[in-house]
Amino acid sequence: MELVLPSTVYRDSFIEGIRELKDAAMTSTTRNYGNLSIPDLEADFDLFVEKERGHAEGKNLPVGYVPQSDFWLVDGNKYIGHAGIRHELNEHLISIGGHIGYSIRPGKRGKGYGNKILELALPKAKELGIDRVLLTCDETNIASRKIIERNGGFLENQVPNPETGIDKLRFWIDIA
């Protein structure tokens, strides 16, 4: 199991994973990939991969987004999940979003992949020069809270999130 850069090698299982997301109940953190168009992915997967890779240079991102390195968790030749590491924190990220977002495709949840994706993302954050990683999760997201705590997260505080009405928990992990 490893974290890799987005690659056309995983085309079929990636699209399968996006189908699972669309069939499952949406959560705020699956919104990005959950909104992908399957016909567009099928028509030009190379272009999608190229755009994903451009995020690290600040390309192809919505206005106000900071550069972000995207990685895919893969097991053998299968796509399992996605982690996005933001290179810096803007005002929104420092209170709500944090440095790292991750998600596991619905068909592979509850098997330990969530713990693994964060474990593997932390050294990638370190390589990007981040020594203190901010992680946030909805107060109601028990699985994500466990993942953060298992990976050494210390709770700083709980803050309101006016966008959803669900408080965010803010954790720090020192990787210096």
Ligand X SMILES: CC(C)(COP(=O)(O)OP(=O)(O)OC[C@H]1O[C@@H](n2cnc3c(N)ncnc32)[C@H](O)[C@@H]1OP(=O)(O)O)[C@@H](O)C(=O)NCCC(=O)NCCS
Backbone φ and ψ for 71, nearest 5 degrees, come out as -130, 150
Closer CB to ligand X, residue 122 or residue 137?
137
User: How would DSSP label each residue in 140-176?
Assistant: T-HHHHHHHHHTT-EEEEEE--TTTSSPEEEEEEE--
Least distance from ligand X to the Cβ atom of residue 84, Å: 10
Least distance from ligand X to the Cβ atom of residue 142, Å: 4
**Cβ distance 144 to 163 under 8 Å?**
no
Least distance from ligand X to the Cβ atom of residue 166, Å: 11
Residue 3: which of 58, 67, 79, 60 has the closest Cα? 79
**Cβ distance 151 to 118 under 8 Å?**
yes
Number of residues that bind ligand X (CB under 6 A): 22
Among 39, 62, 64, 110, binds ligand X (CB under 6 A): 110
User: Which range in 34-42, 63-71, 103-111, 156-164 contacts ligand X by CB under 6 A?
Assistant: 103-111
Question: Should residue 171 be labelled a site residue for ligand X when binding is judged by CB under 6 A?
Answer: no
Question: Should residue 78 be labelled a site residue for ligand X when binding is judged by CB under 6 A?
Answer: no
Question: Should residue 27 be labelled a site residue for ligand X when binding is judged by CB under 6 A?
Answer: yes
Binding mask 113-152 for ligand X (x = CB under 6 A): xxx---------------------x---xxxx-xx--x--
Question: Should residue 23 be labelled a site residue for ligand X when binding is judged by CB under 6 A?
Answer: no
Question: Should residue 68 be labelled a site residue for ligand X when binding is judged by CB under 6 A?
Answer: no
The full 3-state SS of 27-93, as one line of letters, equals CHHHHHHHCCCHHHHHHCHHHHHHHHHHHHHCCCCCCCCCCEEEEEEEECCEEEEEEEEECCCCHHH
Question: Should residue 13 be labelled a site residue for ligand X when binding is judged by CB under 6 A?
Answer: no
Backbone φ and ψ for 166, nearest 5 degrees, come out as -105, 125
* CB count in 10 Å sphere of residue 159: 14
State the residues that interact with ligand X by CB under 6 A.
Answer: 27, 29-30, 101-104, 109-115, 137, 141-144, 146-147, 150
